[in-house]
Structure 1
Amino acid sequence: MKKIFMLIGSMLLFATSFAPISAKDAAPQKDTYEYDLTLTEISGIREPYISNNYVVFTAPITSNSIGIAFDFEEFRKIHYFKIKKNYGYEGDITSSYYFYILEIPKKLPRISYRLVIDGLWTVDPRNPNVTYNEIENYSLSYIDLPPVEFEITEKLDNGMTHFVCHAESGQKIRLGGTFTNWDSWVYEMKETVPGKYEINIPLHPGTYYYSYYSGITSFLDETNPSRGYSTDGRIVSCITIK
């Protein structure tokens, strides 16, 4: 009898281990189209530049490793460059170089950074923009970012998340996402000024996917460049609360 129960338990464990995951339970995948496009467009070594909501850094492969640290992270984290190889028609490598792609932080007028080349801190030799930190007694490279033209969706200091939609005036704009189980009738946004709809909702730390709705039509949050896929395959907006 004991052997029979052990056999039944093993069969149940086997069935559970290989049970298919339904589309409803599968987590949405973040859309990497803009990142992939930015990576494809890198053509060689040059000073840092902005493309598709990213800042692109490049460097020659004349060292074993290159890292980069940013002021908005208080220089606590080093992000290491990767190697990109370009190939000719016959499959041979025509060129190769280091690169790092940074998604532009929201609402920052400027980012300052330092490179770590083979373990040594230094400014970016390909960036002519350098400033001096008198308090810490070192130089920093910097990049001025495009100004934010209008209010954006973001987390507020009071723990709420502020959603903004810029659309034609006089509509009833709703918000729905994974935090409402995709029920778009839970939150209706308020038109605070003509053409701007807003709402604040509490969200715990985590990654959420959402869309705006007008009638039965859903559309993306154009103030937020982060994208993902809903469980039914639609491209939706994505926000991570830390």
Structure 2
Amino acid sequence: MRKQLLSILTTIMMLMPAWLSATPSNGPLPDSPTSAIRAHLIMLAEARPPEQVGDYIVFSVRGRYRSVGVAFSHEDWASVHYFEINSQGTFVFALSVPFGDTRLSHYRLVLDGMWTIDPTNQQRAIDPDSGLPVSLLTLPDRSLRVYGLWHPAAENRSAARFYFSGAPGQFVSVAGSFNGWDPFLHILEEVSPGQYELALQLPPGTYYYAFFHDGQRLRDPLNGSQAIDPAGRLVSVLTIATP
């Protein structure tokens, strides 16, 4: 009997889907919804199917739960994003739409640790890997509206100038080996609506860097010089030549 129980438990562990080992999301810069999205989240008084609001997908859940989370197939079920509860008693979460073309993603809610489909979303499917039901989510097209080719300023060879193009009123920063990868230390200035710039004085040398925008870490898409940093991440490379 004991051997039979051990055999059953072993089989269950082998069939356990990847999402059961997911860990809470804890990136270097968490999603930071804008004030307009925050206002929308505060006013939600009922659970609704996922809805797009600007560059976010808004999720909402009602019920007497201690915690509510969500995990996605486009993240390989590796992270659980936890909801906040607003003054209306509704659990709310705003997913920053990942950059890329329109594509389909699967997701499951995590209600007090139990993984389940979204009862407000009638778009469902069977996950091909686990055979379990999942809710469907269409991630809309979001073009990579970033340009950031750095170049040493002609009048001062120790300066590097960073550029970013996006929506007005955003938080955009650059971090790298030159500032300990602190995403709050070097913030780009919005010089005109949606156009951001930053000039840094750096001594000659080679540096790794990335942009931080809207809760996401972005390589410079126009800088073909890339490398793997000591943490194993693909980053952009900046070289300041000796005068």
TM-score by length of 1: 0.51
Mapped pair 1:144 → 2:127: no
Which residue of structure 1 aligns with residue 100 of structure 2? 107
Whichever residue aligns with residue 81 of structure 1, its letter is F
8 Å Cα contact 1:67-1:115 kept in structure 2: yes
8 Å Cα contact 1:114-1:123 kept in structure 2: yes
Aligned-residue offset at 1:123 = 0.5
- C-alpha separation in 2, matches of 1:103 and 1:226: 13
Instruction: Check 1:78–1:232 CA distance in 2 against 1; reply closer, same or farther (3 A cut).
Output: closer
Q: CA RMSD in A?
A: 3.6
- C-alpha separation in 1, matches of 2:168 and 2:105: 19
8 Å Cα contact 2:110-2:116 kept in structure 1: yes
Cα displacement string for residues 150-189 of structure 1 (whole angstroms, at most 9, x for unaligned residues): 6655xxxxxxxxx48xxxxxxxxx6469xx97633xxxxx
- Count of aligned residue pairs for this structure pair: 150
Whichever residue aligns with residue 94 of structure 2, its letter is I
Instruction: Check 1:66–1:55 CA distance in 2 against 1; reply closer, same or farther (3 A cut).
Output: same
Whichever residue aligns with residue 38 of structure 2, its letter is L
Instruction: Decide which of 70, 73, 76 is 1:71's aligned counterpart.
Output: 73
Which residue of structure 1 aligns with residue 189 of structure 2? 234
8 Å Cα contact 1:31-1:227 kept in structure 2: no
Aligned-residue offset at 1:30 = 10
Cα displacement string for residues 116-168 of structure 1 (whole angstroms, at most 9, x for unaligned residues): 112211101111111112331111112112234x6655xxxxxxxxx48xxxx
Which residue of structure 1 aligns with residue 160 of structure 2? 183
Instruction: Check 1:138–1:37 CA distance in 2 against 1; reply closer, same or farther (3 A cut).
Output: same
- C-alpha separation in 1, matches of 2:110 and 2:35: 25
Aligned-residue offset at 1:78 = 1.3
Cα displacement string for residues 187-238 of structure 1 (whole angstroms, at most 9, x for unaligned residues): xxxxxxxxxxxxxxxxxxxxxxx31xxxxxxxx4239997326858723384
- C-alpha separation in 2, matches of 1:101 and 1:80: 10
Mapped pair 1:125 → 2:80: no
Unaligned runs of 5+ in 2: 1-28, 174-184, 191-195, 198-210, 219-232, 234-243
Instruction: Check 1:182–1:113 CA distance in 2 against 1; reply closer, same or farther (3 A cut).
Output: farther
> How do residues 9-158 of structure 1 correspond to structure 2 at under 5 angstroms?
32=32, 35-42=34-41, 43-44=43-44, 45=46, 46-85=48-87, 95-108=88-101, 109-148=103-142, 153=146
Identity rate of aligned residues, in percent?
A: 21
Unaligned runs of 5+ in 1: 1-28, 86-94, 154-162, 165-173, 185-209, 212-219
